[in-house]
Amino acid sequence: MKETALIKALKEALVETLQEQRDLLHDVVTEALEDFALAEAIREGQKTKKASRDEVFQILQGKS
């Protein structure tokens, strides 16, 4: 019985903490997703041919 009460208390504390710190949780999840997406973009970029500096700037300036 003590374990069940302890587990229930821990779950309630966790839920309460997550509710109170919703913005922090959102920021952490967002940051993790952005890191994952950046890592995936880097992996994909490593599979393509290299672009010259001029090509990059032409694209950024809309002159592709």
For the whole model, what pTM was predicted? 0.53
pLDDT for position 3: 81
Give residue-wise pLDDT tens across range 25-53.
899 999 999 999 999 999 999 999 999 99
Domain boundaries, the chain: 2-60
**Around 62, how many Cα atoms within 13 Å sit in the side-chain half-sphere?**
0
19 touches 26 (CB < 8 A): no
Cβ atoms < 10 Å from Cβ of 30 = 10
Of the pLDDT bands very low, low, confident and very high (cuts 50, 70, 90), residue 1 is low
Round the average pLDDT of the chain to a whole number and report it.
91
Which is nearest to 59 in space by CA: 47, 51, 41? 51
Alpha helices (H) in 46-63, listed in sequence order: 53-60
pLDDT for position 46: 93
pLDDT for position 64: 61
